[in-house]
Amino acid sequence: MEQKSEEKKGLTNEQRMELIKSNMEKIRHKIAIISGKGGVGKSTVAVNLAMKLASTGSAVGLLDIDITGPNVAKMIGVSPELKPLYILGFP
């Protein structure tokens, strides 16, 4: 996996965006939990929905894009210091 990460470092932003688009097209179903207001339970709903779908055997990915206070990692028991190698197609 490290080699793939190294290969992707040389990509331009345009190439990265194409890679993201290509990877996202492979995902059949996407659900976004959004609200303009904080503290209304978006992360809780997202985690509970992801856990339920995963319990049925579905392959599930969960992306927390809350830049002011991401807490999904804490909610599912993953150390927030751990960084995934790939997020939507790039390191």
Tens-digit pLDDT profile for residues 19-70: 889 988 999 999 999 998 889 999 999 999 999 999 999 988 888 888 888 8
Exposed / middle / buried, residue 53 (Cβ in 10 Å: 0-12, 13-18, 19+): middle
- Measured between alpha carbons, how far is residue 48 from residues 7, 61, 70, 73, 82 in Å? 36, 13, 16, 13, 21
Question: Where residue 71 falls among pLDDT bands split at 50, 70, 90?
Answer: confident
